[in-house]
Amino acid sequence: MILIRKLRAPDAEEAGATETPKKEVTKPEKSPTNLELAKALSDLKANSVSKEDYEKLQKENRDLIDQVINGGGASDSGQGTPTQEVDIEQLRTELYGPKGQQLSNLQVVEKTLQLRKAVIAKDGIDPFLPMGANIKPTDLDKERAQAVADILEECVKEADGDSGVFTAELQRRINNDSILLTNHLKKLGIR
């Protein structure tokens, strides 16, 4: 234990000070136990990110800021500026590739939506629109295609990674007796 004494100045005694000096005792700081150190270390690890992840996020933030400053839109995939051709081919391979590959309903729709966005960004053509030699998509066709994409995106968000929840949400929204579908069709002027 360390004791610190407060000394009186000699002139205070000579000046007739009646107050007596008090001794101040401070307790030494208690050193943390091994258990406390281990807990603090695990807390730090849980609330920290790796340097690589941090640098990757910094780069993405810089890219987004550059896009905003230069007037470009942020990419929908959140991956900076991806190379469209590679992503499109990879998505097509994952969706339509080897027959042995099993994808859940949720995975198929997520990849399809990603592919749609990539094709629209690259070619300016919406694959959800009717196509053909004598077919020119109308504004109503475009609204319907976007409505389908919006409903699928809402179902993907609701599912939060659970394919069963996705399927249930999709069936609920597209059921012929569904109020959501009826209201949506009325909004488009179909019913």
Inside any domain, residue 45: no
In order of 32, 64, 65, 70, 94, the CA distances from 73 in angstroms are 51, 8, 10, 9, 27
Task: Establish if 52 belongs to a structural domain.
Answer: no
Do residues 61 and 78 lie in contact, with contact meaning Cβ atoms separated by under 8 Å? no
pLDDT tens per residue, range 151-172: 899 999 998 888 899 888 888 8
Q: Is 104 inside a domain boundary?
A: yes
Q: Rounded to the nearest 5°, which phi and psi values hold at 81?
A: -115, 90
In a domain, 33, yes or no: no
Q: What residues make up the domain containing 155?
A: 85-188
Is the residue at 96 inside a domain?
yes
Tell me which DSSP letter residue 162 carries. Answer: -
Helix, strand, coil percentages (3-state) for the chain, rounded to 5, are 60, 0, 40
Counting the structural domains of the chain, the total is 1
Residue 69 belongs to some domain of the structure: no
Query: 48 in a domain, yes or no?
Result: no
List the structure tokens of 70.
Answer: 């230069």
Q: What digits encode the pLDDT tens for the residues 50-98?
A: 777 778 777 887 777 777 776 554 444 444 444 444 468 888 888 887 7
